[in-house]
Amino acid sequence: MSISHERMNIPETVAIIMDGNGRWAKKQGLPRTAGHKKGADQIRTIALEANRLHIKKLILYAFSTENWKRPEEEISYLCKLPGIFFSRFIKELMEKNIRVTFAGELERFPKDTQKVIRKAVDQTKGNTGLELCIAINYGSRREIILAIQEYTRQVVEQERANDLNEEDFSHYLFVPENVDLLIRTSGEERISNFLLWQIAYAELIFTQTAWPDFDEKALDECIQEYNRRDRRFGAVK
Amino acid of residue 93: L
Q: Which of 67, 178, 193, 227 is catalytic?
A: 67
227 is catalytic: no
Q: Are 63 and 138 in contact (CB under 8 A)?
A: yes
19 is catalytic: yes
CB atoms near residue 28 (< 10 Å): 12
Identify the helix (H) or strand (E) that includes residue 121: helix 111-124
Residue 83: closest CA among 118, 130, 107, 46: 118
Cα separation of 126 and 212, whole Å?
30
If you ran DSSP here, which 8-state letter would residue 98 be given? P
8: region left, alpha or beta (phi > 0 left; psi from -120 to 50 alpha): beta
Which phi and psi (to 5°) does residue 188 adopt? -75, 145
Residue 227: closest CA among 59, 52, 5: 5
Q: Which of 19, 127, 137, 180 is catalytic?
A: 19
Q: How would you classify the pairing of strands 131-138 and 181-184? A: unpaired
Dihedral (Cα; 81, 182, 216, 32), 10-degree rounding: 30
Strand partners of residue 207: none
**Catalytic residue numbers?**
19, 67
